[in-house]
Every structure is written in C-alpha cells, then in structure tokens.
Amino acid sequence: MQDSATISTPTQQTRSGPLAGIRIVEFAGIGPGPFASMLLADMGAEVITLTRAGQTPTGAAARGRTLVAVDLKDKAAIAGVLTLLDGADALIEGYRPGVMERLGLGPDVVMARNPKLVYGRMTGWGQSGPLAQAAGHDINYISITGALAAIGPAERPVPPLNLVGDFGGGSLYLVVGLLAALLEAGKSGKGQVVDAAMCDGATSLITMFFDMTAKGVWKESRESNMLDGGAHFYGTYECKDGGFVSLGSIEPQFYALLRQHAGLNDPQFDGQMDKKNWPELKQKLAAVFKTKSRDEWCAIMEGTDICFAPVLTMSEATKHPHMVAREVFITHEGHTQPAPAPRFSRTPSAARAPVTADLAGIAKQWGRS
C-alpha cells in the first residue's frame, strides 16, 4: 500500500468494488458518518471528504478518501462546494439539524441544482422531535430505545461500546439508506433525503426482542432470558488462567456435546430449558470452567459443534488462525485494521490510502466546473 504522502492525485489509485463510479461528498465529522464513508470508499465509491484546515482526519476515518480542506464560512468556498455537488451522486453530513441550511447547503438548495442527488443526514436524535437540537452521544441515543436497558448484568446496564448506536444503528442504516435511494434514483431520476437517526436504527436493531416480548417469551429484567446471560448455556465463563470463553449451546444436539466435552453428568443439567434452575447451573458450570485454562478448553472444544469460542482481545484476534486464514485484518498506513467487508466475488473491495486535493481541481475532474 502506498503511503499517502507519495500520491499526488486521486486518479493514480485505481478503484475497484461494486460502487466504482459512484461519487459521494462527505462533510467531515466524527463517529458514524466517517465509518459509513469508509465502507462506501472500500466498496469503490469516490468519496470526497471536506475537512477544516488543520483538522485532517487520519486512520480509518480517512481510508480511501480524497481529502479537501474547505472553509465553510467563506462564501466563495460555499460556491465551490455547490459546484462540486452538482456532479455528486450522494452527500453525507452529520451536523445538527439546521446547520447545513444556515451554510446555504441544505437539501432544497443543493437538490434544486442536482435533482438526482441523494442527501444523507446522520444524527443521533433525527431531523425532528423534541430532542433534535440536543447534544448527545451513542450511549444517550440507545438509552431511549430499550436497547441499553437490556444489555449488561442484572445490577445495571453497561455501554456496549459504540457498536449499537454509532455503527450498527447509525453507519449501517445510513449506508443501507443511501444505497437504496441511489438504486431508486437510477430508475426515477430523482434523489431524496435519507434521515438516518441512531435512535431509529438502534430501535430497528432490537425488533426481534420487541417481538419476543409481545409473545411473552422475553422479560425486561436483565439476565432473565436465554440471550442476555440468564441461561447457563449461552454466555461467557472465566477460566483458570483468567481468560474467558463463550458458549452458545442452544440447540439440544449442541447442548449434548457441551455436556459430553465438559463432563456435565449431573442430572440437573438434563433440564436445559428449565429457567428456575439456570442460576444454579450457571454456578456449577462456572466452577467447571475454572478447572482449566482458556487454551486447554480451546483444545477440547474449539472447532466442535458446541458453539464455543475463546473471548479474545483485539490484539489476540489478529493472531487467531481462523482470522489469519481469512485475512480479516490488514496492515494499512502502517497500522493493523479490519479488512473491508463484506466480500465480493467479481468486484472486490479494497482499502486505499487517503489522498489530498483542492476543491477546484476535483470539481474540474468531475466535469462540472
């Protein structure tokens, strides 16, 4: 992979991937917007990221992008951005509602010039509603969805990193929305606004659990259900050496293998789905796993149909034989990063080095200057 300092123009990087030929303008931000843009760039889209002078993004936040420094307080720069957007297929912005309008770059202005533009808006609370103008972060956005209350031990909810709000409920829903709108625009010739709110997406992610609650098979108290740590056969266990392993032995045949390999001969384990016994069975199983190290349990269970895996740190994950064999991690810009996903058989994605360019040059390259 070339170092970004050695690349003079964006055209020196050949783009592959199913989105090659799609042009996207990203207004630099934090969290879900940059991650969504990285995914699109990995899949071949040409993503122009408009940054503030002196605030050039690095790492995954810049992967595959063409970085253009722009002063959005300057009227001439705004005119240049509008010209650039004339040649774009999509736009991504993550400001609070109303900011783009005040800059003169709102949907009404931009889409009047480019009717096919798909205008992607990434926020936590959405473009409307009582909280639309309030500050917040991932943990706040998932708090009002029911998701955070369901995650963690019985004593209290715990933050699930930024995976549920920012990236799962934010970035991925933005990408799905943009791709759907681009597909529709190709047929209708008309763009539209995609309002991607993390509180919307995170709520959508827990659809199955709302369904299970409605059917009476899910309790809202944590560690009371099969999938939230309540069951002895679905969860994590500490080993003799302090490492952890995970189990997902839900199906009877997988549970039977767990009992066989762990030596669970106690007849109390016969009642797998008897919830009243789960707390005691968890304690018994915890004592069993404490008798061996994580590596010893891996030697016994990994690769079987028990539904077992060691709980690895990020640094350990890069060395796991399965992850190595599938080349799940790459070295990019001198750092270990997850490789592009998903995989395409004919038009493969690729992680590309960021490049820098000027606004006028990109607009000319796009043929709209």
Residues annotated catalytic, as ranges: 137, 166
To the nearest 10 degrees (0 to 180), the angle between helices 294-301 and 252-262 is 130
In the chain, what is the greatest distance between 2 CA atoms, to the nearest angstrom? 78
Cβ 261 vs Cβ 288: under 8 Å: no
Q: How far apart are CA 348 and CA 186, in angstroms?
A: 22
The residues, ordered by sequence, that sit 6+ positions from 59 with a Cβ below 8 Å of its Cβ are 333, 335, 337
Instruction: Count other Cβ atoms within 10 Å, centred on residue 245.
Output: 20
Q: DSSP assignment of 249-311, as one string?
A: --SHHHHHHHHHHHT---GGGG-TT-GGGHHHHHHHHHHHHTTS-HHHHHHHHTTSTT-EEEE
User: How is residue 248 annotated by DSSP?
Assistant: E
Say how many CA atoms lie within 13 Å of 33 toward its Cβ.
Answer: 27
Q: Identify the bridge partners of residue 196 per DSSP, sorted by sequence position.
A: 122
The residues, ordered by sequence, that sit 6+ positions from 197 with a Cβ below 8 Å of its Cβ are 123, 124, 125, 126, 127, 141
